[in-house]
Structure 1
């Protein structure tokens, strides 16, 4: 099946996702979570979805916001490292739950580390990142050196 640039074929739908993205980003910012964590969530969701375009973009964004290469190198196996705080671990587990929709209790995240507002903010960010990954993958956005 041919790849079609979805944003060009249906620009109004693309603009709707863009508006949803802006709302999710604003909710995340209001939640009190670190902006670097937003990039880690986007990176982890993009890893799970296999979206090279979004991985490159959000890795660069994370580095520009002061994220370290060590933490970026292990985010794919965050649960095995000691690089992430309890709050970050809870947010990454939640992002995985939203992306993979696994059987309950795959990751321990119900430990009161995140507030209801933060749970909602991380969930919306992961939901919109899943949408962006699917747009980029289905559109065949080029990813070259």
Structure 2
């Protein structure tokens, strides 16, 4: 597949500066790196973004994640490889990505489960990662960014 357009942040460099600042804040928010990696991958799977799934797997492996766990992210509910905290973050990622599926974007039960495992700064980092991933998924889908390309 050939992209319709170059990466929009390459065309508008000030946009990339802003995104890099948000990513820096996300990674300084105290949420565990593996949780952020899993959230990014699950959101990208839901949105069918091959470029972000590819990049997410590559990044997660580089940061110590295992092939076995990465292969089970799409079916995390049926897997015993994820901690309760990771499960709470994955549930939050799914609901926050599928906000049109229910009257309330994120259920109180899902929020409460996440809040049991993460403090406010960590939750902020996870929510920002979910939002950024959804943004990248949409940019990639619109521009038809091929898998294998990285930002």
Change in CA separation of 1:63 and 1:108 when aligned onto 2, cut-off 3 Å: same
Q: TM-score, normalised by structure 2?
A: 0.79
Q: 104-113 vs 66-75, which deviates more?
A: 104-113
Q: Please give the alpha-carbon distance, in whole angstroms, between the structure 1 residues aligned to 2:132 and 2:42.
A: 13
Query: Which residue in the other structure is 1:117 paired with?
Result: 121
CA RMSD in angstroms, aligned pairs only: 2.4
Structure 1 residues without counterparts, runs of 5 or longer: none
Per-residue deviation, residues 74-107 of structure 1 (Å, max 9, x unmatched): 1111122111112111111111122111424396
Separation (CA, whole Å) in 1 of partners of 2:6 and 2:23: 22
Given the two structures, how large is their TM-score scaled by the length of structure 1? 0.82
Tell me whether 1:141 sits opposite 2:139 in the alignment. no
Superposed, 1:76-87 pairs within 5 Å as 76-87=74-85
1:28 maps to what in 2?
Answer: 26
Partner of 1:108: 110
The runs of 5 or more residues in structure 2 that have no matched partner are none
